[in-house]
A = this chain, B = another copy of it.
Amino acid sequence: MSEDMGIQTKQDEDFGKWYLEVVRRGDFIDQRSPVKGFDVILPWGYAVWESIQQIFDRLIKSNGVKNAYFPLVIPEHLLKKEEEHFKGFRAEAFVITEAGGEKLEEKLYVRPTSETIMYYMYALWIRSYKDLPLLINQWNNVARFDTKITKPFIRGREFLWQEGHTAHATKEDAENWVKTVIKMYKHVYDMLALKPLILIRPKSDTFAGADFTVVFDTLTKDGKVVQGPDCHMLGQHFSKPFNIQYMDRDEKKRYVWQTSWGMSTRQIGILIMHHGDDKGAVLPPEVAPYQVVIIPILFTGKEEVVLKKCKEVESHLEQHGLRVYMDDRDHSAGFKFNEWELRGVPLRLEIGPKDIENNEVTAVSRLGDKKRIKITELGEVKKNLEGMQKSLAVHSEKFLLDNIRDVHNMNQLKDISKKGGFLRGNWCGSGECEEMIKTDSGGYEIRGTLYEKEEKPFAPCLYCGKPAKHVVYVAKAY
A47: chain B residues at CB < 8 Å are 66-67
Whether A15 sits at the interface, judged by CB under 8 Å, is no
Interface residues of A in 345-372 (CB under 8 A from B): none
Asked if A35 and B99 sit within 8 Å, CB to CB, the answer is: no
Asked if A73 and B38 sit within 8 Å, CB to CB, the answer is: yes
Query: CA A77 – CA B71 in complex, angstroms?
Result: 27
Whether A478 sits at the interface, judged by CB under 8 Å, is no
Asked if A121 and B33 sit within 8 Å, CB to CB, the answer is: yes
Asked if A40 and B69 sit within 8 Å, CB to CB, the answer is: yes
Binds B, one of A141-149, A178-186, A447-455: A141-149
Whether A78 sits at the interface, judged by CB under 8 Å, is yes
Q: Which of A46, A107, A124 neighbours the largest number of chain B CB atoms within 10 Å of its CB?
A: A46
Asked if B75 and A34 sit within 8 Å, CB to CB, the answer is: yes
* Chain B residue with the shortest CB-CB distance to A90: B101
Contact with B along A65-94 (1 / 0, CB 8 A): 011111111110010000000000011111
Q: Which of A39, A46, A69 neighbours the largest number of chain B CB atoms within 10 Å of its CB?
A: A69
A38: chain B residues at CB < 8 Å are 71-73
* Chain B residue with the shortest CB-CB distance to A39: B71
Asked if B94 and A69 sit within 8 Å, CB to CB, the answer is: no
Asked if B145 and A99 sit within 8 Å, CB to CB, the answer is: yes
Whether A330 sits at the interface, judged by CB under 8 Å, is yes
Asked if B78 and A34 sit within 8 Å, CB to CB, the answer is: yes
Interface residues of A in 426-477 (CB under 8 A from B): none
Query: CA A158 – CA B33 in complex, angstroms?
Result: 23
Query: CA A45 – CA B33 in complex, angstroms?
Result: 33
Interface residues of A in 30-51 (CB under 8 A from B): 30, 32-35, 38-43, 46-47, 49-50
A39: chain B residues at CB < 8 Å are 71
The size of the chain A interface, using a CB distance under 8 A, is 59
Q: Which 3 A-B pairs have the closest CB atoms?
A: A38-B71, A43-B66, A100-B145
* Distance between A108 CB and nearest chain B CB, rounded to angstroms: 7
A140: chain B residues at CB < 8 Å are 141
Q: B-contacting residues of A (Cβ < 8 Å)? A: 1, 30, 32-35, 38-43, 46-47, 49-50, 66-75, 78, 90-101, 107-108, 110, 117, 120-121, 124, 127-128, 130, 136, 140-141, 143, 145, 147, 158, 160, 329-330
Partner of A68, one of B42, B158, B329: B42
A101: chain B residues at CB < 8 Å are 90-91
SS class of chain A's interface: helix, strand, loop or mixed?
Answer: mixed
Query: CA A136 – CA B43 in complex, angstroms?
Result: 8
Asked if A71 and B40 sit within 8 Å, CB to CB, the answer is: yes
Asked if A32 and B143 sit within 8 Å, CB to CB, the answer is: no
* Chain B residue with the shortest CB-CB distance to A98: B95
A73: chain B residues at CB < 8 Å are 35, 38, 94, 143, 158
Asked if A141 and B34 sit within 8 Å, CB to CB, the answer is: no
Asked if B99 and A95 sit within 8 Å, CB to CB, the answer is: yes
Asked if A50 and B35 sit within 8 Å, CB to CB, the answer is: no
A136: chain B residues at CB < 8 Å are 43
In the complex, besides A39-B71, A40-B121, A110-B110, 15 extra interface pairs with C-beta distance below 8 angstroms are A33-B70, A33-B71, A34-B75, A34-B117, A35-B73, A41-B70, A43-B66, A43-B67, A46-B66, A46-B67, A96-B97, A96-B110, A97-B98, A98-B107, A100-B147
Could you name 21 residue pairs across A and B whose Cβ atoms are closer than 8 Å? A1-B128, A33-B70, A33-B117, A35-B71, A35-B75, A38-B72, A40-B68, A46-B68, A46-B69, A47-B67, A49-B69, A50-B67, A92-B100, A93-B99, A93-B100, A94-B108, A95-B96, A97-B98, A100-B147, A140-B141, A141-B141
Q: Which of A41, A50, A140 neighbours the largest number of chain B CB atoms within 10 Å of its CB?
A: A41
Query: CA A78 – CA B370 in complex, angstroms?
Result: 49
A128: chain B residues at CB < 8 Å are 1
Partner of A34, one of B30, B66, B92, B120: B120
A50: chain B residues at CB < 8 Å are 67
